[in-house]
């Protein structure tokens, strides 16, 4: 007996020792941080903590994916696979049967709710049977005759069953929308979790809906929608007459015209689309009352049971909204107001309304385990749940200014820092990944103040806002320094980004080039500008294309598809002609010169074999043209539209980019507290490196290799 007890004790001590010896790794992911800008600012002494980390271990540019896009690159980071194998190759993908675009890394399908169309009948019959039996037993207890008890019980049960069926038919949906993630391949957290390594992943892009995995926690990132089922739809309430968003409103914010600029002003908030009851359709709206103080010192807001007062320039705390589909089903959301002005006109901003992490609908998870969302809120307070956290749409469309945008950046980043520093202090993880988006968003919006060649550059603007990009990099450096101070002793620290950045001065419109060079023919029908709202509302795209005379078309952020017979619905290019058509387009684009600048907008055109190797030939694009510095694919081109000319100035506030830029021009960063021997990592290398660090064999052959190997 003593030997048995001794063996058990030794076994327990051995297990405890194994846990104690498990190494810890912290990975900080900063979206959009550029290697050359980091190198320059480190040399200037602006980034001391990153410089110290480089001195301790490693700093290297990070080789990014083709194309150099956020969902593409982070998917490679997560899986160790190239984009052709993990299946995420753009923000958009097209359906070859319809030529219509949809999101490139997720979709939505309908699944039955309970028993689908039979739900009212099943519930009605079930309630009737249960109630009938219960009443029969009850009546028998009171010594009612069997015949009488049966008749009364049957009558009451039938009435109740019919009522239940009618109520269920009116109050319960027949189907529910279910998100589907296109990303393929096992992730590093799944592989490590299966081996008993405890992993926490916070805000990693392309993780919605979150999939459960062993020994871990995950909060989903880019791809997590707001309540309107958008990547983010902010609101702008204004008494300005005839207000129109800047540049035609490519991002389709919700502009609400107020009927007055004084006294009590009735209005409403347009909430989620009524996907639960498609026969009714439309959107769920709730009333809101605004009251302007007589001295214009404050605005009182009464909405969804909340009463609050805001002075001009003030942000509200989180406000909870309730959107009733009916008296039984309600959806809870959160948002924040910012009063922009009361004079001369009322201008009120409302952030995208997003899911309340403490009151999620039963059919939706943003974390795994599902209760983790509420646990984070209980510990740190309400936080943004939307995947694209910082609002870039309102500044682009002209409803807020740079000051309000930077306030949103600061508020969002501060909450993420609070959560990160809290989690680091916990003892329930071995690997911790935390993602920050602010550097990417600031550069998208503010790059015009760094580049004197940009069409929107002004000396006044540069003086006021030119330091915001550097400040974003310094904020990153501060976060890294804090983590270096508080992380567990002897733990590994990696700092990575998915791509770098470049100025976006000129738009390259590939569809326009295809038309002018005889590869595409239009019917002459003008369709007008396309917006993201058209994408969400399943609008019609490429409707003015004569497919019987079209060999190729562009769609997405730098992708060209051949109108291939047997694959595309109306394909005309025969398989034996495919290579020749690709070669002609490739040669023409690479030779094309922008007459206004004398520069070549296209640095290189990748074929899909060059870019991916292995891929799904039905969905992956045929060609990936990559732009030189200063150029990017045009806005309308990305939605299958047509620019006025092949190349045109980018007059959008969205002035820095990377999405269709030649990958070697926009390398990301890699820092590590371990020296990796001077090699330049690839985004796919992180997964095998982590697996090697914890002694876990990958379940499939990976496209990256461990940085710990010789």
What secondary structure, in 3-state letters, does 3-65 show? HHHHHHHHHHHHHHHHHHHCCCEEEEEECCCCHHHHHHHHHCCCCHHHHHHHHHCEEEEEECC
- Within 10 angstroms of residue 118's Cβ, the number of other Cβ atoms is 12
Whether the CB-CB separation of 350 and 337 falls below 8 Å is answered with yes
CA proximity to 655, closest of 426, 501, 493: 501
Query: Number of H helices and number of E strands within the chain?
Result: 20, 31
CA proximity to 341, closest of 312, 365, 315: 312
E strands, 79-140, in order: 92-94, 101-103, 106-112
HSE-CB at 604 with a 13 A cutoff on CA atoms is: 12
For strands 263-273 and 602-607, give the pairing: unpaired
| Bridge partners (DSSP) listed for residue 647 | 508
Of 35-44, 85-94, 601-610, 665-674, the one with minimum mean pLDDT is 85-94
The mean predicted confidence, pLDDT, of the chain is: 92
- With cut-offs at 50, 70 and 90, classify the pLDDT of residue 242: confident
| Bridge partners (DSSP) listed for residue 320 | 334
Whether the CB-CB separation of 264 and 230 falls below 8 Å is answered with no
Whether the CB-CB separation of 436 and 416 falls below 8 Å is answered with yes
Per-residue pLDDT at 153:
78
Q: Is the pTM of this model over 0.85?
A: yes
| Bridge partners (DSSP) listed for residue 60 | 670
pLDDT tens column, 531-567? 555 555 555 678 889 999 999 999 999 999 999 999 9
Whether the CB-CB separation of 169 and 120 falls below 8 Å is answered with yes
| Bridge partners (DSSP) listed for residue 102 | 93
pLDDT tens column, 295-352? 999 999 999 999 999 999 999 999 999 999 999 999 999 999 999 999 999 999 999 9
| Bridge partners (DSSP) listed for residue 268 | 287
For strands 199-204 and 216-220, give the pairing: parallel
Whether the CB-CB separation of 24 and 491 falls below 8 Å is answered with yes
Cα separation of 70 and 386, whole Å? 16
| Bridge partners (DSSP) listed for residue 287 | 268
In three-state secondary structure terms, 649 is strand
For strands 552-554 and 560-562, give the pairing: antiparallel
- Within 10 angstroms of residue 649's Cβ, the number of other Cβ atoms is 13
DSSP letter for each residue of 504-529: EEEEE-HHHHHHHTTS--B-S-----
pLDDT tens column, 490-522? 999 999 999 999 999 999 999 999 999 999 999
Burial group, residue 160, by CB count within 10 angstroms (0-12, 13-18, 19+): middle
Cα separation of 342 and 274, whole Å? 33
Per-residue pLDDT at 201:
98
């Amino acid at each position: 007996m003593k030997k048995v007890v001794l063996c058990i004790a030794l076994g327990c001590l051995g297990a405890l020792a194994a846990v104690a010896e498990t190494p810890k790794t912290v990975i900080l992911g900063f979206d959009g941080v550029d290697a050359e800008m980091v190198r320059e600012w480190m040399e200037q002494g602006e980034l001391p903590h990153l410089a110290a980390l480089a001195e301790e271990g490693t700093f290297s540019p990070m080789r990014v994916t083709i194309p150099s896009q956020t969902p593409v690159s982070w998917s490679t980071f997560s899986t160790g696979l190239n984009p052709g194998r993990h299946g995420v190759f753009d923000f958009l993908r097209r359906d070859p049967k319809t030529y219509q675009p949809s999101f490139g890394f997720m979709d939505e399908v309908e699944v039955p709710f309970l028993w689908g169309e039979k739900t009212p009948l099943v519930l009605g019959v079930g309630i009737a049977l249960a109630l009938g039996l219960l009443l029969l037993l009850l009546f028998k207890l009171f010594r009612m005759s069997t015949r009488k008890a049966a008749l009364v019980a049957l009558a009451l049960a039938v009435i109740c069953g019919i009522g239940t069926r009618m109520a269920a038919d009116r109050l319960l949906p027949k189907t529910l929308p279910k998100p589907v993630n296109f990303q393929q391949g096992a992730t590093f957290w799944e592989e490590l979790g299966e081996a008993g390594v405890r992993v926490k992943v916070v805000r990693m892009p392309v993780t919605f809906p979150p999939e459960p995995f062993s020994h871990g926690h995950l909060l989903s990132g880019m791809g997590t929608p707001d309540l309107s089922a958008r990547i983010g739809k902010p609101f702008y309430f204004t008494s300005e007459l005839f207000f129109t968003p800047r540049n035609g409103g490519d991002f389709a914010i919700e502009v609400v015209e107020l009927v007055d600029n004084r006294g009590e002003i009735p209005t409403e908030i347009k909430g989620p689309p009524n996907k639960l009851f498609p026969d009714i359709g439309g959107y769920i709206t709730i009333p809101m009352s605004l009251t302007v103080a007589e001295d214009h010192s404050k605005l009182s807001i009464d909405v969804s049971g909340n009463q609050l007062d805001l002075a001009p320039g003030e942000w509200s705390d989180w406000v909870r909204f309730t959107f009733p589909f009916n008296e039984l089903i309600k959806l809870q959301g959160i948002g924040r107001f910012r009063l922009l002005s009361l004079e001369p006109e009322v201008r009120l901003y409302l952030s995208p309304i997003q899911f309340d992490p403490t009151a999620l609908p039963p059919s939706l998870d943003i974390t795994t385990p599902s209760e983790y969302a509420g646990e984070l809120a209980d510990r740190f307070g309400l936080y943004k749940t939307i995947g694209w956290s910082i609002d870039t749409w309102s500044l682009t469309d002209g409803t807020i200014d740079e000051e309000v945008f930077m306030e949103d950046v600061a508020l969002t980043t501060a909450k993420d820092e609070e959560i990160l520093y809290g989690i680091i202090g916990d003892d329930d993880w071995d690997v911790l990944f935390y993602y920050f988006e602010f550097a990417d968003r600031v550069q998208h919006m503010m790059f015009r103040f760094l580049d004197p060649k940009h069409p929107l550059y002004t000396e006044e603007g540069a003086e006021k806002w030119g330091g915001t990009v550097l400040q974003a990099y310094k904020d990153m450096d501060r976060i890294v320094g804090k983590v270096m101070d508080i992380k567990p002793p002897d733990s590994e620290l990696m700092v990575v980004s998915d791509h770098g950045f470049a100025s976006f001065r000129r738009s390259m419109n590939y569809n326009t080039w295809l038309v002018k060079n005889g590869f595409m023919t239009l019917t002459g029908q003008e369709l007008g500008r396309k917006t993201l709202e058209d994408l969400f509302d399943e609008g019609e795209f490429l409707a003015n294309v004569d497919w019987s005379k079209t060999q190729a078309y562009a769609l997405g952020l730098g992708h060209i598809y051949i109108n291939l017979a047997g694959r595309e619905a109306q394909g005309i290019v025969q398989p034996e002609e495919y290579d020749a058509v690709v070669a002609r387009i490739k040669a023409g684009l690479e030779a094309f010169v922008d007459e206004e600048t004398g520069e070549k907008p296209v640095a290189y055109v990748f074929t899909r074999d060059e870019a991916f190797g292995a891929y799904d030939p039905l969905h992956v694009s045929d060609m990936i043209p990559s732009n030189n510095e200063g150029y990017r694919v045009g806005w309308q081109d990305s939605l299958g539209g047509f620019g006025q000319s092949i190349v045109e100035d980018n007059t959008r506030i969205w002035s820095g980019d990377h999405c269709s830029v030649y990958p070697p021009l926009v390398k990301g960063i890699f820092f590590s507290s371990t020296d990796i021997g001077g090699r330049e990592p690839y985004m796919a290398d992180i997964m095998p490196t982590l697996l090697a660090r914890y002694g876990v064999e990958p379940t499939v052959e990976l496209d990256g290799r461990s940085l710990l190997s010789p």
